A and B are shown apart, each in its own frame.
Chain A
Amino acid sequence: MAFLSAVSHKSDESEKKRSFLPYLLLLPGLVWLFFFFLMPILTLVSTSTKTPGLGIGEFDQTYRFANYWDAIVNSRGQFFRSFEYASIATIMALIIAYPLAYAIAFRSGRWKNVLLVLVVAPFFTSFILRTIAWKQILGGQGIGFKFLTWLHIISPQSHLTASAFAVVAGLTYNFLPFMTLPLYSSLERIDPRTMEASGDLYANAFTTFRKVTLPLSMPGVVAGTLLTFIPAAGDYVNAEILGNPQTKMIGNVINARYLQIVDYPTAAALSFTLMVAILIMVTLYIRKSGTEELV
């Protein structure tokens, strides 16, 4: 009996130690989140309700929530355009990335790693440089432009740069790896035997894709579309470099408000609104695609 109680006492002690350890391990992350996520958000929210003070760049806290209303009303066109461009770019990226990821996952054999490196390779050069390169490619002397005129898809008199087309093309290109990699990793995880089993059970190639491959790759589709849509919706570089005044996105407005007009409250209100809007859309999307039980 004494022996038993001694043992249970000992395990109690180690239990206590063990239950304390996870919090200790979480601590660095929590500290990081506090200083670099929670604090900035709170600063952002508090800035968003300020009004201009005496000097330039000085603002007083007046809890003016009408800042939000003003900001949204003035920039609603850019808001909708951002979501529109980001949606189109996401769909385009999905259409391009799915066959690519599928080929890498199932058909590439020993070239698999090389192809994966090629998908990531553009990241080795700067985002800005790559976007400027598209300006060249789509410009009147660029190979992209010449190729499209050669195919008679566009006339030599037309122009592709400084257009909505160029902005969406830039967004699609820049976020393509964010779509391809999650798709690849979720396709690669599928047991090829489940596809064979589908064929064995009277499903042709198309039905196998529709009933087995696509549903099993849904976690990748959801992750890829989120990773593309979220940064694309907030992006301003593509619209800045490849667009014109009529293709401004919400990112450009925030950028201008903050750096050029030095109107911090409006920039903060727009940023926070964008964040909340994306959060709501993402939540609805995940609910709808019902992937919680899949992953």
Chain B
Amino acid sequence: MVDASTSAHGDIKLSNLTKSFADFTAVDDLTLTIPEGSFFALLGPSGCGKTTTLRMIAGLEEPTAGSIFIGNTDITHMRPYKRPVNTVFQNYALFPHLSIFENVAFGLRRRGIKDVKEQVDKVLDLVELPHLAQRKPLQLSGGQQQRIAVARAIVNRPALLLLDEPLGALDLKLRRQMQIELKWIQTEIGLTFVHVTHDQEEAMTMADTIAVMNEGRIEQMGSPADLYDNPKTAFVANFLGQSNLIKGSIESNGSESLVVNLFGQKVAVPRARSSARDSSILVGIRPEKLRISPETSSASGNVLTGGIIEDVSYIGVSTQYQVLMPWGQELMVFEQNDDGVPPLDKGDRITLSWEPIFTFGLDGSEDANAGSELHNDEEE
């Protein structure tokens, strides 16, 4: 009856997966492959459809259309208790009436496994809480409950472990620690992890591959570095870290790079890093890639002149500047405090410059602010 839990393994394939509720479409024609053994993150703001996707994989939500495969096994309409999938729930959902031992043993007992004690002890050792076996969940701290929730799921050796905002209820310090531990556990036991989160830092720290979701679709998928360095949409550029996006028009189209006119000033954009479809373009540059210098000094690379410092925030390792450009846009600059030069002052007239290689280009029809207002959005 539960054979699927041991036999099915392989890559997870979602094909044209759709979930519509009465008045809106939560997940819209989603197709993606999660390689076996990877740590995969579904990242997006609340309401983007990431949790619904997770619940469809777990079998807690019936897809409106599309299919879900693990290897060659179609699990689209399989009952949740027959799937080789286990979930670490948001707020853990531990059984309050059972001891920690019985919580962890729950899945093993349902499947009629013989050496329950041995396996439970082993997994409690793995999460370093063997001494709490006889306690009840409510006697544990948040961090301990979180680890037991992971233990309760991984003891079953599922083909796929789903984590639904698993660290959302923990404080920052504990969250950092658990990020490292979860990553370690994943490497140790080699299961496929699918992790749903709205916290971009959490996704970047843990995942090999991130799919950024927005309004039921995948905006972009790739490694954390790839997403950060080569965002393909304004949403990704703003949701993962911060970006300065400046509207411009392509003047000439060279083989290596494009020359773009930004309100009268010309900059180069590597051709391979542009996803503009016509001459209208959004030129993107990360704040930490910008160099800031007094107007009088010379600058090389891509240069924008005429900026005035509006605000200076000194944060120890770096200084953040807010610079007003002649065309009325405010740009962010993060400058490392590693050159012994005192920070510039509010009101100073400055020049911005950067290596052209760091420039990326987005299609000019995009909303330059997409995703930025969701940046520090907390779920629930």
Where the two chains meet, the residues of A that have a C-beta atom closer than 8 Å to any C-beta of B are 191, 193-194, 196-204, 207, 211-212, 215-216, 218, 294
Contact = CB atoms under 8 A, between A and B. Distances in A.
A197 B95 CA distance: 9
B80 A200 contact: yes
B206 interface: no
A197 B96 contact: no
A193 B110 contact: no
Interface of B: 2, 5, 58-60, 79-82, 85-87, 89-91, 93-97, 106-107, 110-111, 152-153, 156
Nearest to B87: A200
A201 B107 contact: yes
27 contacts: A191-B91, A193-B93, A194-B93, A194-B94, A194-B96, A196-B60, A196-B87, A196-B89, A197-B93, A197-B95, A198-B95, A198-B106, A200-B60, A200-B85, A200-B87, A201-B86, A201-B152, A202-B2, A202-B82, A202-B107, A202-B110, A203-B106, A203-B110, A204-B81, A207-B110, A216-B97, A218-B97
A199 to B, nearest CB: 4
A124 B24 CA distance: 42
A199 B59 CA distance: 9
B111 A197 contact: no
B123 to A, nearest CB: 13
Given A201-B106, A202-B107, A203-B106, A196 B5 contact: no
A33 B248 CA distance: 83
Contacts of A204: 79, 81
Contacts of B5: 202
Contacts of B96: 194, 216
Contacts of A211: 106
Sort A-B residue pairs by CB-CB distance and give the 3 closest, nearest first: A193-B93, A201-B107, A202-B110
B162 to A, nearest CB: 9
B91 A193 contact: yes
B161 to A, nearest CB: 11
B58 A202 contact: no
B242 to A, nearest CB: 35
A199 B93 contact: no
A202 B93 contact: no
A211 B106 CA distance: 9
B68 to A, nearest CB: 15
A201 to B, nearest CB: 4
A194 B106 CA distance: 12
Nearest to B83: A200
Contacts of A193: 89-91, 93
A202 B60 contact: no
A212 B81 CA distance: 14
B213 to A, nearest CB: 22
B91 A202 contact: no
A9 to B, nearest CB: 37
Contacts of A201: 81, 86, 106-107, 110, 152-153, 156
Contacts of B81: 199-204
A199 B80 contact: yes
Given A198-B106, A201-B110, A202-B2, 4 more contacts: A193-B89, A193-B91, A197-B89, A202-B5
Contact of B60 (A199, A203, A215, A216): A199
A46 B89 CA distance: 61
Nearest to A202: B110
A202 B86 CA distance: 9
A202 B111 contact: yes
Nearest to B105: A201
B117 to A, nearest CB: 17
A193 B55 CA distance: 12
A212 B86 contact: no
B63 to A, nearest CB: 17
Nearest to A207: B110
A72 B87 CA distance: 60
A194 B93 CA distance: 5
Contacts of B111: 202
B338 to A, nearest CB: 48
